[in-house]
């Protein structure tokens, strides 16, 4: 029973057993009023139904939206058409790896593709095409290509360094060619200071492109073709050859030394030094190393020069096992000679008197004891003096040799202390140009009536 019926029932004072028609009517009215109070009006019913349908439609739309959103996602195949595209799992969105690397974005895009992930998969293709054509993306691509090119070719400094290295290599090849030319002239005893320029011009004209390019690029004062440069090249080649020989000499277990003093054209006393050792192939080799100027020609000075030379060249004197000098007391003296002083440093070193020098001295002594051979030696010496001290007579001999088509040989002075000097004088000069010498002597006698010419001619005819 509701509240209204309770109050209506309470206001009635009639007993239960005495009901009347009025009571029945009151009940019917009461039931009608209750029905009107509990059930909504038709307008309200329509409003309720409308709201219900609206809620259903809203729920259906939300479900449809969720289904659509969950069915669209990032497609890996997009990267085939847009190589700048990348997907970041942490942000669950797409980025432009080129623009993101530079970190520059447009304000109107809100940083999308760069600092903010792109998630609008429905319009993905359209937005990707728009971004690919944007100015900021094109600038980023150009910067990326420039960076890749710089990484491949190196920085500006590295490129300049590479160019500098290539130029150094070309210059070295050119200098190498110049040194080879100098070495060619020196080995053939051709004056290098006067023939170097002409030789370089000849080589360039034959197609030496490296050398030609070097001479064209170099300054006029840096072509390395002057006389000073040629002399420096010769000295450089000499130092290189000396270092190569010293390196082999230092590797030898033992060595021997040979030396002899002489006087040059400037009357300067000099000491020529040779070394002999066994190389790595087991073959004995002999090489000239240096000419040392001497302040004096006594034994102590020569000994000091040899010891100082070996110390300067880092040659171990303890490896010395042999010495070869001439028979002069300065070298071969048993008490104060050079060989005796060296033995104090290397006691096991043996001194050997030069056999060629001994043989020459023996031959000269035997020849002087024989009148016939002595007369030949005197004739050869007189013949040398006759042509050597007169350029006019030497030119006359040369003219006769040309007419007779004979080799243009000069008469060599025979020496009692120089072995093979008689062989060079007699065999190579006199014997090879005998007819030319006799003809020249006769012509000179007919022109000048010089008795020496007639006497030498008769002596040679005997």
Contacts with 350 (C-beta within 8 Å, 6 or more apart), sequence order? 321, 322, 323
**Residues 267 and 180 grouped into a single domain:** no
| Banded model confidence at residue 284, pLDDT cuts 50, 70, 90 | very high
pTM here? 0.52
Lowest mean pLDDT, pick from 62-71, 306-315, 424-433, 452-461: 62-71
| Banded model confidence at residue 287, pLDDT cuts 50, 70, 90 | very high
pLDDT at 114: 81
Tell me, yes or no, whether 287 lies in a domain.
yes
Helices (H), 275-433: 299-312, 329-332, 338-345, 355-368, 371-388, 391-403, 421-423
pLDDT at 259: 92
Burial of 137 (0-12, 13-18, 19+ CB in 10 A): buried
Tell me, yes or no, whether 440 lies in a domain.
yes
**Residue 82 to residue 205: CA distance in whole angstroms:** 59
**pLDDT digits over 34-89, tens only?**
444 455 666 666 666 666 666 666 555 454 444 344 447 888 888 888 888 888 88
Decide if pLDDT at 3 tops 50.
no
Decide if pLDDT at 313 tops 80.
yes
Residue finishing a domain among 322, 353, 384: 353
**Which of 237, 238, 276, 231 shows the shortest CA–CA distance to 257?**
276
Beta bridge partners of 87: 94
Residue finishing a domain among 119, 152, 185: 152
pLDDT at 381: 86
Residue finishing a domain among 301, 336, 353: 353
pLDDT at 105: 57
Decide if pLDDT at 107 tops 70.
no
Decide if pLDDT at 28 tops 50.
no
**Residues 145 and 161 grouped into a single domain:** no
Structural domain boundaries enclosing 172: 157-237
pLDDT at 248: 93
Q: What percent of the chain has pLDDT over 90?
A: 17
**Residues 309 and 336 grouped into a single domain:** yes
For the chain, count helices (H), then strands (E).
Answer: 20, 7
**Residues 379 and 411 grouped into a single domain:** yes
**Residue 420 to residue 58: CA distance in whole angstroms:** 129
- pLDDT, average across residues 355-379: 82
Tell me, yes or no, whether 290 lies in a domain.
yes
Tell me, yes or no, whether 245 lies in a domain.
no
**Residues 171 and 140 grouped into a single domain:** no
Q: What is the mean pLDDT of the chain?
A: 79
**Residues 227 and 314 grouped into a single domain:** no
Tell me, yes or no, whether 162 lies in a domain.
yes
| Banded model confidence at residue 376, pLDDT cuts 50, 70, 90 | confident
Decide if pLDDT at 388 tops 80.
yes
Lowest mean pLDDT, pick from 103-112, 186-195, 330-339: 103-112
pLDDT at 32: 46
- Looking at mean pLDDT, say which of 100-104, 147-151, 234-238, 373-377 comes out highest: 234-238
Tell me, yes or no, whether 224 lies in a domain.
yes
Decide if pLDDT at 247 tops 90.
yes
- pLDDT, average across residues 450-456: 89
How many domains are there within the chain?
A: 4
Tell me, yes or no, whether 212 lies in a domain.
yes
Tell me, yes or no, whether 98 lies in a domain.
yes
pLDDT at 204: 87
**Residue 50 to residue 53: CA distance in whole angstroms:** 5
**Residues 277 and 347 grouped into a single domain:** yes
pLDDT at 322: 93
**pLDDT digits over 404-415, tens only?**
888 887 777 777
**pLDDT digits over 322-339, tens only?**
999 888 889 988 888 999
Q: For the packed helices 192-205 and 156-187, what is the interaxial angle rounded to 10 degrees?
A: 120
Classify strands 320-325 and 350-353 as parallel, antiparallel or unpaired.
Answer: parallel
């Amino acid at each position: 029973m509701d509240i209204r019926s309770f109050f209506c029932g309470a206001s009635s004072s009639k007993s239960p057993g005495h009901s009347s028609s009025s009571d029945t009517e009151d009940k019917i009215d009461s039931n009608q009023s209750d029905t009107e109070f509990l059930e909504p009006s038709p307008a309200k019913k329509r409003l309720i139904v409308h709201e219900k349908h609206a809620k259903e439609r809203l729920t259906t739309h939300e479900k449809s939206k969720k289904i659509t959103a969950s069915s669209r996602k990032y497609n890996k195949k997009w990267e085939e058409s847009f190589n700048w595209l990348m997907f970041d799992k942490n942000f669950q969105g797409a980025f432009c790896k080129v623009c993101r690397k530079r970190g520059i974005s447009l304000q109107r895009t809100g940083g999308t593709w760069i600092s903010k992930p792109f998630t609008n998969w429905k319009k993905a293709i359209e937005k990707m095409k728009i971004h690919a054509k944007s100015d900021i993306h094109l600038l980023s691509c150009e910067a990326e290509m420039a960076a890749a090119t710089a990484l491949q070719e190196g920085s500006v400094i590295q490129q300049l360094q590479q160019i500098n290295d290539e130029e150094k290599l070309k210059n070295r090849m050119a200098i190498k060619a110049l040194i080879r030319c100098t070495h060619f002239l020196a080995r053939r005893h051709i004056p290098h200071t006067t023939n170097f320029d002409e030789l370089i011009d000849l080589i360039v004209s034959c197609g030496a492109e490296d050398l030609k390019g070097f001479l064209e690029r170099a300054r006029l004062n840096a072509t390395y073709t002057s006389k000073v440069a040629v002399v420096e090249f010769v000295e450089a080649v000499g130092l290189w050859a000396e270092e190569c020989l010293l390196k082999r000499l230092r590797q030898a277990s033992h060595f021997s030394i040979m030396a002899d003093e002489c006087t040059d054209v400037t009357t300067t006393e000099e000491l020529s030094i040779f070394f002999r050792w066994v190389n790595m192939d087991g073959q004995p080799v002999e090489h000239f190393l240096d000419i040392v100027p001497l302040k004096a020609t006594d034994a102590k000075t020569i000994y000091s020069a040899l010891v100082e030379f070996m110390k300067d060249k880092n040659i171990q004197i303890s490896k010395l096992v042999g010495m070869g000098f001439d028979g002069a007391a300065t070298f071969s003296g048993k008490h104060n000679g050079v060989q005796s002083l060296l033995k104090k440093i290397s006691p096991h070193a043996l001194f050997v008197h030069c056999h060629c020098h001994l043989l020459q001295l023996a031959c000269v002594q035997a020849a002087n004891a024989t009148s016939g051979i002595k007369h030949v030696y005197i004739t050869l010496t007189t013949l040398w003096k006759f042509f050597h001290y007169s350029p006019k007579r030497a030119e006359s001999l040369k003219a006769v040799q040309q007419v007779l088509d004979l080799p243009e040989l000069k008469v060599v002075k025979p020496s009692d202390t120089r072995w093979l000097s008689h062989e060079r004088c007699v065999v190579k000069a006199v014997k090879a140009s005998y007819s030319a010498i006799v003809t020249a002597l006769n012509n000179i006698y007919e022109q000048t009536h010089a008795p020496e010419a007639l006497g030498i001619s008769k002596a040679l005819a005997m």
